[in-house]
Chains A and B, each alone.
Chain A
Amino acid sequence: TQLLEQSPQFLSIQEGENLTVYCNSSSVFSSLQWYRQEPGEGPVLLVTVVTGGEVKKLKRLTFQFGDARKDSSLHITAAQPGDTGLYLCAGSTGSARQLTFGSGTQLTVLP
């Protein structure tokens, strides 16, 4: 079973601050996805990274896949209250058909 550890578990910051959340594993993944989940809703896909060292940007969000494809980070610049939510990473191996989710980082951005 591949385990994905996310840190920090909880993060509370003021509007305008920058932040980084991490997703680490001892396993190699062929792809890694980041989701955001709001209360009472299902997770919504933000991005998929598939190449070691890959960096993807989505407006104020920057996603990076580690060179060894075992870890990933999500950096948010100038956080806004609308960024509040549970951020989940999920890894997939090449032959497996299911995603393994991390435990999530609960982000609260205060106005």
Chain B
Amino acid sequence: EAGVAQSPRYKIIEKRQSVAFWCNPISGHATLYWYQQILGQGPKLLIQFQNNGVVDDSQLPKDRFSAERLKGVDSTLKIQPAKLEDSAVYLCASSLGAGGWSGANVLTFGAGSRLTVL
């Protein structure tokens, strides 16, 4: 089966500019996640969707970050305006199910989108 697709792979912008990342999850996966991974750190959850509804966005900086999941399939993550500290890899992941532990909650990650803010 095809994996989680993300684009662009790399993006360099000036601070205060805007950027958008796109994710196409594995077909049939109900749950989609966006993680931020700063160099030298583990991934931090930004937002979790189940179908097209938001399950958790408690760590999303809502003054500058926004995300949507179109028709419960693809998703976009937008940053506007970008700050220097937003430089990171933005990872998208999907899973068949959600909630507690089960075999359906195995996450498959995409390769990520590396953002550099100058």
Interface residues of A (CB under 8 A from B): 4, 6, 30-31, 40-45, 48, 50, 88, 90, 92, 94-95, 97-104
| Closest 3 pairs between A and B when the two form their complex, measured CB to CB | A42-B109, A101-B42, A31-B101
Q: Which of A31, A97, A98, A104 contacts B42 (CB 8 A)?
A: A104
Residue among B41, B101, B106 making CB contact with A50, cutoff 8 Å: B101
Interface of chain B residues 81 through 102 with chain A (CB within 8 A): 91, 93, 98-101
- Provide the B57-75 mask, 1 if CB < 8 A to any CB of A, else 0: 0000000000000000000
Which residues of the other chain, B, contact A104 by a CB distance below 8 angstroms? 40-42
> In the assembled complex, how far is the CB of residue B36 from the closest CB belonging to chain A, in whole angstroms?
11
A41 to B101 Cα, complex, angstroms:
24
- Compute the total of residue contacts between A and B using a CB distance below 8 Å: 60
Asked if A42 contacts B4 (CB within 8 A), the reply is yes
Cross-chain contact of B107 among A30, A40, A99, A100 (Cβ < 8 A): A99
Residues of A within 8 A of B20 (CB): none
User: Is there contact, CB below 8 Å, between A98 and B48?
Assistant: yes
Whether a CB of chain A sits under 8 angstroms from the CB of B44 is: yes
- In B4-61, which residues have CB < 8 Å from any A CB? 4, 33, 35, 40-45, 48, 55-56
Contact B98 A103 (CB under 8 A): no
Smallest CB-CB separation from A9: which chain B residue? B40
Q: Is the CB of B48 within 8 A of A88?
A: no
B117 interfacial by beta-carbon distance below 8 Å: no
A45 touches B106 (CB 8 A): yes
The chain A residue sitting closest to B91, CB to CB, is: A42
- Asked if A97 and B48 sit within 8 Å, CB to CB, the answer is yes
Cβ-defined contact, B56 with A97, below 8 A: yes
In the bound complex, residues from chain B placing their C-beta under 8 Å from that of A94 are 100-101
